[in-house]
Amino acid sequence: MGSARERPSLWRWSMFAVTYQSAVWGGLSAVVACVVLMFSQLQSLQVMGPTLFLLAAMVALGELRPVVFSSTYEADGVPMSSAFVFTALYLWGVVPALVLQAFAVLISEVLQHKAAWKLFFNIGQYALSVSAAWLVLVAAGVSTDMSDGRSTFSASDLGWVVVSWFAYHFVNLTLVSGLAKYYGQSWWESFTDDLWYYTFSTVAVLALVPFIVVMAATSWQFIPLLLLPLFGVYKLAAVSKSREREALHDALTQLPNRTLFSQSMAETLEIAARDDSTVAVFLLDLDRFKEVNDTLGHPAGDQLLEVVARRVLSAVRPDDVVARLGGDEFAVLLPDVRDAGHAIEVAERIRRILAEPFRLEGVLVDVDVSIGIAVSPQDGTEVESLMRRADVAMYVAKGEQTGIEVYDIARDPNSPQRLGTVTALREALDRGQLELHYQPKVDLADGAVVGAEALVRWRHPDRGLIAPDDFVPLAERTGLVHRLTKYVLESALDQVAQWWASGLHVPVAINVSMRDLQEADLAFLVTRALDRHGLPPEALVLEVTESVLVMDPGQAVATLRDLAEVGVSSSLDDFGTGYSSLVLLEQLPVSEVKIDRSFVRRLDEVGGDPAMVRSIIGFAHGLGLTVVAEGVETASAWKMLRDMGCDVAQGFRVARPMPPGEASQWFMERVVRHADHAAGTARSELAGEGPFVPGMSPPVVPVTG
């Protein structure tokens, strides 16, 4: 079973006090008596001389070099010293055995710098255990003393030999289990904890004793020969431990892997449940790792992972567990944190240290990290549930680019509340409760309509009109996104077909998700839908977000190329918020980019810097792409974008998203007024007002196909 573990002393439990004092006073008294008795009989000591001192040397060696087969059960290993202590017990009785046992414990505890209370307890504990084995010999009538040594073993001795082993083992186990309250366990929990392992390891060591006794009784010079097989045992144990380490650790970073991390979590959560303490679990994902691999190569990616591992370790406490779960995903286990706020402080420290540039292949690289946090017990008390919830929080942090998020059940697509929403969304698709609204896009130079974006809404019977941000991410996570995309595609093309039949040649854009782009038959689905509605490919534009292309660029590029081959153009949405490389952007078969509304909004802020917007416009024009500005809400933003050469505007300054009937009327009014457009523009310019800005007056704008 080994010896008691280190922990601050707690004296309020009676069983602990009784066990401790019994072991210390009873065991130490026996050891002191044996030392006095042994050195008072110098004649017997001289008779045992060479054999005793050789056994003492083997005891010291066995205690200093325990056999460690596995760190799972006993980090300190199985000491071989007890085999030589029992040899002395069978040869010369309890006196030299207790002295050798005390000598072994003294060496071990002093060299490991253990606390004094633990040293005294362990000397007494083992002394009482050896004494229990000796009492078995006394009861069997086979006990010996220093003056009457044993010379051999016979088959009839096997019974009492085995009984003495178990007496030693179970007294040892009972005394250590008496400290159970000290660790927050019951006596029975401590006694039965890995009972079979400790029993087997103890018996396996003591099984050597009969052979050592025969050697010692025959010729003590044979005893050193045991070093060879013992060396073999040590080597086998080292190989076993090495293989165990390989199975439980990441080969690149040497951090614990997913298996070992789960084991550590299970143990920590069990202790936390007893101590009523709080545990936090982090999941970390590097946001630019794929870009590093693609640009600098896999060796640089491996180097980055190693440096990340070292930095995360430096940001946490020694008792915290850092693991690599695979790829660029890491995990951190924080036992005994105060609350979620404390966990966030640690997460922020990790983010700060990872925000420092990495030098890879002579290049300085910035890598962001997204961290999801789950806290026990409020977020769960099981390994699986906590890991899943930390994963949910991490994806929220990544998706919303906040860096750190604590698990929130309201944002969990698999929580009971959200599962109810999934069912309702599925029913909404079945019952036709979803509808499309259309937001126009106009030319910044003259206000001419160049298209519209179809935006889905959910007409909920109880909650009213629900915005897409509240249910589209849910559809993407639960597999409903394909049905949703087909619905939007069919509904949008129904409306476009009506517009085109009445002379309104307005191309309409719909949004597609990462899961849609992973479908090999997306181009076929789109082409078939266009044919079914009698529309040319130019009537449809597919919008994809930049983040989709970063997550799976190969499949995304292939799908977009298939669409481009059939004449369906694509638009890169939310441009500037992702991390797509310039090389990737050059390869993309897209015809336009949409500047994210966050950049456009800053144009209206005091001291707002238009440099980013101007850079995006210049870069996109250099690639021959049209530039659309999203979220244009003010006349000043309109003017700045027009002056910077931006092509198209979309936002409340032009029009809000409108239901089909209202959108049709909006477009039709501009067709009716088309005849007066040229005259109106000329009057405006003569008056020095400059080109038309939507929202300032109701102008006439032409419709472009």
Report whether pLDDT(693) > 60: no
Scan for tokens 């999934």, then name that residue: 422
* Structural tokens at position 654: 């032009």
Average pLDDT over residues 26-47: 73
Work out the number of other CB atoms within 10 angstroms of the CB of residue 59: 25
| Whether the bond into 536 is cis, omega within 30 of 0 | no
Helix (H, G, I), strand (E, B) or coil at 365: strand
- Alpha-helical (H) ranges within 504-634 are 514-517, 522-532, 546-551, 553-565, 582-587, 597-602, 611-622
- Map out the domains of the chain as residue ranges: 14-247, 258-412, 418-662
Residue 71: pLDDT band with limits 50, 70, 90: low
**Which run of H or E residues covers position 614?**
helix 611-622
Query: Going along 467-601, which residue ranges are E strands?
Result: 508-511, 540-545, 569-575, 592-595
DSSP state of 24: I
CB 447 within 8 A of CB 691: yes
How many residues are given for the chain?
705
At 257, phi and psi to the nearest 5? -95, -170
* Structural tokens at position 195: 């009972």
Residue 484 CA to residue 468 CA, distance in Å, equals 11
CA dihedral 417, 422, 424, 428 (to 10 degrees): 150
* Angle between helical axes of 81-92 and 209-218 (0-180°, round to 10): 50
Average pLDDT over residues 295-314: 89
DSSP state of 5: P
Amino acid at 197: Y
Q: What is the pTM of this model?
A: 0.47
Residue 681: pLDDT band with limits 50, 70, 90: very low
Distances (CA, A) of 104 to 63, 92, 169, 378, 699: 6, 18, 17, 47, 98
CB 100 within 8 A of CB 88: yes
Count of alpha carbons within 13 angstroms of residue 191, beta-carbon side: 9
Q: CATH classification of 418-662, choosing from 3.40.50.2300, 3.20.20.450, 3.90.400.10, 3.40.50.150? A: 3.20.20.450
Q: What pLDDT, in 10s, does the model give residues 51-62?
A: 888 888 888 877
Q: What pLDDT does residue 665 have? A: 92
- Alpha-helical (H) ranges within 369-480 are 383-400, 416-431, 472-478
At 694, phi and psi to the nearest 5? -55, 145
CB 592 within 8 A of CB 628: yes
Residue 12: pLDDT band with limits 50, 70, 90: very low
Lowest-confidence segment of 28-42, 319-333, 442-456 by average pLDDT: 28-42
**Which run of H or E residues covers position 460?**
strand 449-460
| Number of continuous H segments (helices) and E segments (strands) in the chain | 29, 16
* Radius of gyration, alpha carbons of the chain: 39
Residue 83: pLDDT band with limits 50, 70, 90: confident
Residue 152 CA to residue 218 CA, distance in Å, equals 8
Q: CATH classification of 258-412, choosing from 3.40.50.1370, 3.30.70.270, 3.40.50.10440, 3.90.76.10? A: 3.30.70.270
Average pLDDT over residues 659-686: 64
Average pLDDT over residues 114-134: 83
